[in-house]
Amino acid sequence: MPADTHRTIDAIWRIESPKLIAALTRVVRDVGLAEDLAQDALVAALEKGPESGIPDNPGAWLMGTAKHRAIDFFRRQAMANRKHEDLGRDYNAREQIMPDLDRSLDDPIGDDLLRLMFIACHPVLPKEARLALTLRLLGGLTTDEIARAFVSTEPTIAQRIVRAKRTLSEKRAPFEIPSGSELNRRLASVLEVIYLIFNEGYTATAGGDWMRPSLCEEALRLGRILAELAPNEPEVHGLVALMEIQASRSKARLGRGGEPILLMDQDRAQWDRLLIERGLSALERAQKLGQAPGPYRVQAEIAACHARAREPKQTDWNKIVAWYDKLAEIMPSPIIELNRAVAVSMASGPEMALAIVDGLAGDPRLANYHLLPSARGDFLKKLGRVHEARSEFERAARMTRNEQERKLLLEKAGECSL
């Protein structure tokens, strides 16, 4: 197969596979089986398609093939069930499904995609499994691509995905849009997964790269889809706003050698104004819904304060501190308190910020969190306590698993010796 044809089909699969898997899951009620049928449809289409070229409507092309694979599956099931004593009842049930298959797979896919998001991010699954399954089912990424994105091995990711599908099947997780109080809990899980994917792309936890833009793009794509499928959920728009604004800084966050450039040192002329406007628009949508701000909207408000400042000195740090106070009320955590300390340092000076950080020093949740000694080093350096600052930067460098971040921290330590 020519390389350009292969790339085209790969792009088509990434766009169309979530819709295909979602529609099939609604029919067969098993996300693992639905993915297998979708993969079968791709293989069958590949065997036939390239001879006559890529069709004008590749989504319909794949969906048509998927219908035939699903019909074949039900027929095999029905034939196998003839060996059972309850043949009549089960066979009739299968025969009742098959005449409706065309109509079922042709139904609007919006709700199906939303259901697929909820099942891939089901709280019954551990966090790592939700991440991998979401990228596989909704992102169309291969197991190898997911492994490379998270600096893991392909067998580890493959096993994680297989276990996730098995768990969903064993728990009989319904393919549905939850309602009532369950909706809030399940939606929180979906938002968490999307933001975790974004954060891993925005600041990689391990490996040689400071950023992995493809993960940021994938998270943004999923967030935008979710915002259109759930237009009345303010936290969805809050998350989209936060990701759009943060993504606007991407070009300014990397030096020529891939080294990190921190927020206050960035050339703000490189910030993507279109993404900023998109983010501010999403934030306005969240505000207009009139509900009390949730954690993603509050973080978007903080990001907006930075986005509106054309120069670092124009940043309204007092307003940012106030938003961090609000965030700490909503979801208290030592990491939020650490981020608040950085804002306090800019608004009121490093001495007050150092007192906050020293109060966090004994928290076991931050025992291996490298940004604690990093922030403490910054405050100590501003206070002229350079020897202590150097020790903190070196400690942070030993703790981080990202090579580019380690270099930056060691450079900071070196500056304390000048």
Distance CA(16)–CA(106), nearest Å, equals 14
Mean pLDDT, residues 224-237: 95
CATH assignment, 109-195: 1.10.10.10
Which pLDDT belongs to residue 3? 58
Max Cα-Cα span within the chain: 86
Mean pLDDT, residues 238-251: 97
Which pLDDT belongs to residue 42? 79
CA distances for 57 relative to 14, 54, 61, angstroms:
15, 8, 6
**Which residue, among 376, 372, 396, has the nearest Cα to 386 in the 3D structure?**
376
Which pLDDT belongs to residue 181? 84
Q: Which long-range contacts (CB under 8 A, 24 or more apart) does 218-221 make?
A: 218/135, 218/139, 218/141, 219/194, 219/195, 219/243, 220/244, 220/247, 221/139
Distance CA(12)–CA(14), nearest Å, equals 6
Which pLDDT belongs to residue 91? 40
Which pLDDT belongs to residue 279? 98
Residue 90 pLDDT greater than 80, yes or no: no
Q: What is the pLDDT of residues 353-376, one digit of tens each?
A: 999 999 998 899 999 999 999 999
- pLDDT cut 70: percent of the chain above it: 87
Residue 171 pLDDT greater than 60, yes or no: yes
At 92, the pLDDT band (50, 70, 90 cuts) reads very low
Q: Hey, where are the domains in the chain? A: 4-107, 109-195
At 61, the pLDDT band (50, 70, 90 cuts) reads confident
Which pLDDT belongs to residue 301? 98
Residue 21 pLDDT greater than 80, yes or no: yes
Mean pLDDT, residues 248-268: 93
Cα dihedral sign, 330-333-335-337? positive
**pLDDT mean across residues, the chain:** 87
Q: What is the pLDDT of residues 178-195, one digit of tens each?
A: 988 889 889 999 999 999
Q: Which of 42-51, 97-106, 200-209 has the lowest mean pLDDT?
A: 97-106
